[in-house]
Amino acid sequence: MSQRKQILDLALRIAQEAGALLTNRPASWDLTSKTTAIDFATQMDVASEKLIVNAILDARPNDGIIGEEGANRKGTSGLTWVIDPIDGTVNYFYGLPGWNISIAVKDETGVLVGVVHAPTISSTWHATREGGAFLNNIKIECNNPVALDRALIATGFAYDVNDRANQLEIIKRLLPKIRDIRRMGAAATDLCLVATGMVDGYIETGLKEWDLAAGALIAIEAGAVVSTHTWRGMDLTLAAGPDLHAELSAEIPA
């Protein structure tokens, strides 16, 4: 078995274990504010990250780790795991579907393996670099070409409310020109929906590495273009099939 397959199998197993933990929702909540009052973590974010980190280190003690909840360590193997123990914490807290566990592994040239497990919608996506993208082990491809006036676009909004006015300018410009907007509430899931063709494109600002790493690889391996550039002081991420990506890029206001 190749190292890449071993890593993928490990990531899939750990994501499933974390999903099982998280499906058992707590009776009460311990909330910790992060960047703003509406950006928070629960005790389950911390518990999920602990489970994931311990499982990684049990199997691969020389690997590095970057975790949203702070479990960061340098490794010596050349591989680093990038983990979001609950992507879509607000959904999880409110009991809404779509939250996920996002696990990626990168080497010196980029992301090698990506797994996104969303238990509430019975969906597990995975991809390996140059190995294609899969939903529940079935190969997937993004929609392409899609005309702008037929495009269903997913999006999300910043935790910093001061950034939302800028984001709304994008929505105001796009909404009269596209099919409609959808708001899932979890970045990695949105990227995977692009990969699966369940939406045609995705636009969001302020995503971090743990939001993007796994989902972006899955979208790219499904044929999408995923780009991030600085826009009005924020990182703006755009994912879509090649034709629609070009059209959406042209619609972003200066």
Contact 74, 62 (CB under 8 A): no
Summarize pLDDT for 111-126 with one digit per residue, the tens: 999 999 999 999 999 9
| DSSP line for 166-190 | HHHHHHHHHGGGSSEEE--S-HHHH
Per-residue model confidence as pLDDT tens digits over 41-67: 999 999 999 999 999 999 999 999 999
- The answer to whether 238 touches 174, Cβ cutoff 8 Å, is no
- Residue range 186-230, pLDDT digits in tens: 999 999 999 999 999 999 999 999 999 999 999 999 999 999 999
Instruction: Please tell me the predicted confidence (pLDDT) of residue 31.
Output: 86
When pLDDT is cut at 50, 70 and 90, the band that residue 1 belongs to is low
Q: Is the pLDDT of residue 36 over 80?
A: no
179 neighbors 152 (Cβ within 8 angstroms) = yes
Distance CA 62, CA 73 (A): 10
Domains of the chain: 3-139 (3.30.540.10), 148-251 (3.40.190.80)
Q: Is the pLDDT of residue 38 over 80?
A: no
User: pTM for the whole thing?
Assistant: 0.96
Q: Report the amino acid identity of residue 31.
A: L
